[in-house]
Amino acid sequence: MICKICFVRLKITGLEHLKPKQSYIFVLNHQSIFDIFVVYGWLPYIFKWLMKIELRKIPLVGIACESAGHIFINRRNPITTKHSIEKAEMQLKNGVSLVVFPEGTRTYTGEMGKFKRGAFQIASDLSLPIVPVTLRGSFERLHRNTIDVTPGTIEMHIHQPIEINQDVSVTSSVLMNVTWNVIHSSL
């Protein structure tokens, strides 16, 4: 609804790559606040967000996210980070997926930043497929630290899942690099 009010359209491709009852780790580049609306409005899966603890302090948003069972992660404290990842792992069953912006924050420049390791560690631990998702046009619709929306189109491209073979040891670093390259190459 927010996208329609702001004259923002969405073009989505790649849904055919997904299996309806499979749990996935969706990994997206993070360009603007519109990314959240796009995921909620057009990703046809039951999912939990992995989000930084600072978002819990936002009035109403923090309470709503906690009530919905989303997972907050304190990146400054390794012990609580480990606990948050364990909580996420317990929820990823029976088609429930995880959505992560592994850059940790929205871009200031439109360029994709360095990825953090959490989502890739979960995927490796649980042998869950990672689904790279490229968002294009979101930064142009709404830059960080402004309220000036530019109408137009946001593209969400869902790439082929990266399967994790239980018989082969795949490090989270390898997964992170492969995923970063897939998303970056389609920007």
Whole-number Cα distances in Å, 144 to 29, 35, 36, 165:
14, 12, 14, 38
Residues 137-169 as b/e (b if ≥16 CB within 10 A, e otherwise) read bbbebbbeeeeebeeeebbbbbbebbebeeeee
Q: Summarize the confidence of residues 6-25 as an average pLDDT.
A: 94
Residue 103 CA to its chain's centroid (Å): 9
Provide the pLDDT confidence category of residue 167 given band limits of 50, 70 and 90: low
Q: What percent of the chain has a predicted confidence (pLDDT) above 70?
A: 97
Would you kindly state where each structural domain of the chain is located, as residue ranges?
A: 2-101+112-175
Q: How many CB atoms lie within 10 A of CB 18?
A: 18
Cα 92 to the center of its chain, rounded Å: 14
Q: Are 55 and 128 in contact (CB under 8 A)?
A: no
Residue with tokens 């992560």: 100
The greatest distance separating any two alpha carbons of the chain, rounded to the nearest whole angstrom, comes to: 50
> What pLDDT digit, counting tens, does each position of 35-81 carry?
999 999 999 999 998 888 888 888 888 888 888 888 888 877 777 77
Q: How far are the Cα atoms of 16, 66, 103, 162 from residue 12, in angstroms, in the given order?
A: 11, 28, 22, 19
Decide if pLDDT at 90 tops 80.
no
Q: pLDDT averaged over the chain?
A: 88
